[in-house]
Amino acid sequence: MSIKHAQPKSSFDAAATALAFPLGGIGTGNVSLGARGELRDWEIFNSPAKGSILPNTFFALRVQSPGQPPVARVLEGALQPPFNLSHGYHPSQNGGLPRFASSTFRGQYPFAHVDLDDPSVPVHVSLEAFTPLIPLNPEDSGIPCASLTYTLTNRSSEPVAITLVGSLCNPVGGVRFDPFMNIAHSRKGKTLNQARHESGFRGVYMTADEIAGDDPDFGSMALVTTHPNVTVKPHWLRSGWWDFLQEFWDDLSSDGVLTDLGYDGASPDGRPDTGSVGVIDELAPGESRSYPFWIAWHFPNRHNSWHGPQAVRAGAAPTIRNHYAVRFNDAWDVAAYTVGEWPRLSAETRKFHDAFFDSTLPGYVLDAVSANIVPMRSTTCFWLEDGRFYGWEGCFDTGGCCAGSCTHVWSYAYSLAFLFPSLEREMRRIEFEVETEPDGYMMFRNMKSLGEEFIWVWGAQKPEAAVDGQMGTVLRAYREWQLSGDRAWLERIWPGIKRAMDFASIHWDTDHDFVLDGKQHNTYDIEFYGPNPLSSIYFLAALRATEELARVLDEPALAERCRNAFEAGSRKLDSLLWNGEYFVQRIDDVDAYKYQHGLGCLTDQLLGQLHAHALGLGDLLPADHIRTAIKSVFDYNFRAGFENHTNCQRTYVLNDESGLLLCTWPKGGRPKYPFVYSDEVWTGIEYHVAAELIYNGWLDAGLQLVKTVQDRHDGVRRNRWDEVECGHHYARSMSSWAVLLALSGQHGDLGHGELSFDPVTDASTDPDRFQAFWSNGKAWGTYCQTRGADGSWKPEIAVLGGSLDGVTVSACGSRWTVSADPKGRPA
């Protein structure tokens, strides 16, 4: 079987109702684009809000051919069943307005495209939507805005007059609905809509009166365009029943010029106003033109709490401010910056996109890696004024889920470290500088830095330290050092790293044989007892990382101690846990404690080894055992078809789908109550196993796992841009970046000025060429190697952002140092 050349489902029709492509930047929240081109899930108010709608908020088009009646359409594909609302679609959802017969969605993060066609409409519509994303530039990847550019093509043989209008309900102060879904009074204040004209762009600016500047509901929005010929309706009709929509639609349909109704000031009854901004143009037969719009938002204040407003610690400030509030005064300011910098922001984002997707890697790999950039730009993460960066594990529909940049979950995540490494370094700083106690106990959910108590402290009991989180965080510290070569940062956290390792040796290695055996809390939210592969291989990897860091920081005795411990531990672990096929947990009575895995084949067993491979730390155990074990994980735990699978835990995969179970017991010995989650399937684990399979030469199995995850996220069953585990946009899914590392064999050790590539050319969709994206803390670009006439490979590196000046690149047996040579080839 060769599945590697198969392409993913790259387009989605209107039936893909699970699809929601998040627009928005780092720490800004999102509004998502649905498969029909609709704006959905308004999560810009410092909280997740899956399923939320803004009334009256949509784009619409009026087209008129000479001598013909005008045609008006909402710029969306057809609404999809079920149609089982208790009162039908409310007029504020405009379900009764005509839409386009056909819609096709394509997404390559961060770009989404929607094509709309209808036999009754003489123009073809193509929407491009995105929010700037530039690797190594979190600021410009963290703008609270969404760009929506509609390109119209006149399919007819006559000129057409067009008016393309965006409408936005002013949500400042909080939109509310009565039980009938009528728009009710705002939660706070009264909305103020204002038509504004600035050099270069025009639009509607939206605020509200009577809301204090530090109120979480305080904020502003803007809807703008740079098109020169605009028509603006700052307020829709204030009236009874549903006249607002009738008046707007009649106004648009009649002559394509919007009427300013002349209202002054806030809506007297406190119901939010809607405003519209349109562009007017004429298209010759066959002509295409683009009409850019931006939605900008500015809701600077968020509750200073990991747990919702009720849990704000007494005495702490009730709100904290978003990072973007430092840069922008309000949404108009956001719009002004964005529009002013648009040529650069847009070009750099396209450069990233093209570098990433102009690749010989299979499409589903590109999808898997790029789609999991989303969590860092979703409500899973937030970013504060002073630069502190935090992540939930994931999100409930309407709130963050599982606080504290949880070390064990986030230790699976790679994407952020490779795209915005400064943010990752800040996370390590908090972990080692703030959250690691004098004895090396690390709070695995960081809380202190936000002035919070840990939620899961009962009485005076401190939560268990998490062995995988603590070891993973040491490994991540090493990774951030490799990616950045930032010595000042490393020296700052180094004491914390050493304490954390001390704690592991004392508390988890109770018999001092360098194989952990204590009470080992871990990512399954339970404790393992006795020697087990997850904890101990993780420990071996952390010993290796500490060894390397000790050398960097000139502590050779420590390095030596780590080396010796690693070697002793590796031998002991292999002799103790290897069963000939994989590594098992050694525990006399597997039911003595609940929730062990015992003789089961644990899918996560080689997670520490994956980190070691990705970081260039080599094999932690005999290579043949690693290679056999990872294949056993795949062979035993991958299920094609879940119709007969029995799972009493949570369900992420079912029916005719495929997936990789967290554990199976191919040789028996399943505990009465096996560890929590053992019968589940998590994408974040499937990806790291895929990467480790690929590192070990099991390419087809690795690619199959990646493709399997994409197949499950087909837009009908699940959202391609939202991988769920214990919450939406789950941080663990950012492990997918490791698949890119493994396939391209890219490894940067910028601390030592080294960058190398050793791609799996079998994974290329072109037998004579391999091309993939790379990035690290210094620069990003593409790596390409092509096969010459003599059969030998010729490498080439393109630096598209940042600089690799002075860095030595190794590939295809060559080594060369990058200087000003833009070609990036070996001399």
Least spacing, CB of residue 703 vs a second copy, in Å:
23
Q: How many Å apart are CA 772 and CA 370, to the nearest integer?
A: 12
The region that residue 600 occupies, defined by phi over 0 for left and psi between -120 and 50 for alpha, beta otherwise, is beta
Q: How many Å apart are CA 46 and CA 27, to the nearest integer?
A: 9
Q: How many Å apart are CA 447 and CA 312, to the nearest integer?
A: 12
**Hey, which residues between 16 and 35 contact a second copy (CB under 8 A)?**
17-18
**Hey, which residues between 43 and 62 contact a second copy (CB under 8 A)?**
50
Least spacing, CB of residue 733 vs a second copy, in Å:
14
Query: According to the binding rule CB under 8 A, does residue 40 interact with a second copy?
Result: no
Query: According to the binding rule CB under 8 A, does residue 311 interact with a second copy?
Result: no
Nearer to a second copy, 727 or 751 (CB): 727
Least spacing, CB of residue 4 vs a second copy, in Å:
27
Angle at 541 between CA 498 and CA 710, to 5 degrees: 125
Least spacing, CB of residue 435 vs a second copy, in Å:
24
Tokens 């010759």 correspond to what residue? 284
**Residues 425, 371, 708, 760: what is their CA dihedral angle, to the nearest 10 degrees?**
-60
**Hey, which residues between 102 and 121 contact a second copy (CB under 8 A)?**
120
Least spacing, CB of residue 414 vs a second copy, in Å:
23
Nearer to a second copy, 15 or 812 (CB): 15
**Hey, which residues between 401 and 460 contact a second copy (CB under 8 A)?**
401
Query: According to the binding rule CB under 8 A, does residue 94 interact with a second copy?
Result: yes
Site track for a second copy across 193-232, x = CB under 8 A = ----------------------------------------
Among 312, 726, 739, 741, binds a second copy (CB under 8 A): 726
- DSSP-derived letter for residue 735 is G
Nearer to a second copy, 156 or 786 (CB): 156
Nearer to a second copy, 91 or 272 (CB): 91
Site track for a second copy across 569-608, x = CB under 8 A = -------------------------xx-------------
Among 38, 547, 722, 749, binds a second copy (CB under 8 A): 722
Piece in contact with a second copy (CB under 8 A), picked from 2-10, 275-283, 717-725, 732-740: 717-725
Tokens representing 398?
């309407």
Nearer to a second copy, 64 or 536 (CB): 64
Q: Which residues contact 461 (CB under 8 A, 6 or more apart)?
A: none
Least spacing, CB of residue 787 vs a second copy, in Å:
43
Q: How many Å apart are CA 298 and CA 223, to the nearest integer?
A: 12
3-state secondary structure of 281: strand
Among 66, 69, 81, 580, binds a second copy (CB under 8 A): 81
Query: According to the binding rule CB under 8 A, does residue 179 interact with a second copy?
Result: yes
Site track for a second copy across 651-670, x = CB under 8 A = xx-xx---------------
Tokens 């070009």 correspond to what residue? 347
Nearer to a second copy, 68 or 246 (CB): 246
Q: Which residues contact 447 (CB under 8 A, 6 or more apart)?
A: 306, 403, 404, 435, 453, 454, 455
One-letter amino acid at 659 equals: G
Least spacing, CB of residue 56 vs a second copy, in Å:
11
Q: How many Å apart are CA 771 and CA 373, to the nearest integer?
A: 20
Least spacing, CB of residue 259 vs a second copy, in Å:
13
Query: According to the binding rule CB under 8 A, does residue 826 interact with a second copy?
Result: no
Tokens 């002559």 correspond to what residue? 255
Query: According to the binding rule CB under 8 A, does residue 719 interact with a second copy?
Result: yes
Nearest to 166 by CA among 275, 240, 71: 275
Nearer to a second copy, 434 or 716 (CB): 716
Integer CA distances (angstroms), 193 to 63, 262, 395, 552, 623, in order: 27, 11, 32, 58, 66
Q: Which residues contact 484 (CB under 8 A, 6 or more apart)?
A: 421, 422, 425, 750, 751, 776, 777, 778
How many residues in total does the chain contain?
827
Least spacing, CB of residue 428 vs a second copy, in Å:
28
**Hey, which residues between 242 and 261 contact a second copy (CB under 8 A)?**
242-243, 245-246, 249-250, 253
Query: According to the binding rule CB under 8 A, does residue 89 interact with a second copy?
Result: yes
Nearer to a second copy, 59 or 489 (CB): 59
Tokens representing 616?
């260039």
Among 140, 679, 686, 749, binds a second copy (CB under 8 A): 679
CA atoms within 13 A on the CB side of 408: 21
* Strands 658-660, 638-640: pairing kind: antiparallel
Contact between 546 and 474 under an 8 Å Cβ cutoff? The reply is: yes
Angle at 322 between CA 426 and CA 452, to 5 degrees: 65
Among 195, 261, 676, 800, binds a second copy (CB under 8 A): 676
Nearer to a second copy, 251 or 424 (CB): 251
Nearer to a second copy, 608 or 671 (CB): 671
Piece in contact with a second copy (CB under 8 A), picked from 89-97, 136-144, 585-593, 815-823: 89-97
The region that residue 641 occupies, defined by phi over 0 for left and psi between -120 and 50 for alpha, beta otherwise, is left
Query: According to the binding rule CB under 8 A, does residue 801 interact with a second copy?
Result: no
Nearer to a second copy, 86 or 199 (CB): 86
Nearer to a second copy, 237 or 617 (CB): 237
Least spacing, CB of residue 686 vs a second copy, in Å:
14
Least spacing, CB of residue 76 vs a second copy, in Å:
12
Query: According to the binding rule CB under 8 A, does residue 395 interact with a second copy?
Result: yes
**Hey, which residues between 452 and 511 contact a second copy (CB under 8 A)?**
none
Tokens representing 336?
């002004």
Q: Which residue spans within 556-617 are E strands per DSSP? A: 601-602
Tokens 């409409």 correspond to what residue? 121
Piece in contact with a second copy (CB under 8 A), picked from 269-277, 378-386, 497-505, 650-658: 650-658
Q: How many Å apart are CA 753 and CA 803, to the nearest integer?
A: 12
Piece in contact with a second copy (CB under 8 A), picked from 83-91, 147-155, 431-439, 692-700: 83-91
Q: How many Å apart are CA 225 and CA 104, to the nearest integer?
A: 24
Among 1, 66, 87, 269, binds a second copy (CB under 8 A): 87
Least spacing, CB of residue 37 vs a second copy, in Å:
16
Nearer to a second copy, 120 or 579 (CB): 120
Q: How many Å apart are CA 205 and CA 330, to the nearest integer?
A: 10
Q: Which residues contact 103 (CB under 8 A, 6 or more apart)?
A: 13, 14, 35, 36, 37, 76, 77, 78, 114, 115, 116
End-to-end Cα separation, the chain, in angstroms: 40
Piece in contact with a second copy (CB under 8 A), picked from 81-89, 421-429, 495-503, 793-801: 81-89
Reply yes or no: is the peptide bond before residue 110 cis, omega within 30 of 0. yes
Q: How many residues bind a second copy (CB under 8 A)?
A: 71
Nearer to a second copy, 654 or 800 (CB): 654
Contact between 368 and 710 under an 8 Å Cβ cutoff? The reply is: yes
Least spacing, CB of residue 335 vs a second copy, in Å:
30
Q: How many Å apart are CA 296 and CA 132, to the nearest integer?
A: 12
Helices 467-484 and 533-552, packing angle to 10 deg: 30
Helices 331-340 and 342-357, packing angle to 10 deg: 70
Piece in contact with a second copy (CB under 8 A), picked from 349-357, 621-629, 721-729, 748-756: 721-729
Among 184, 553, 716, 798, binds a second copy (CB under 8 A): 716
Among 391, 518, 727, 781, binds a second copy (CB under 8 A): 727
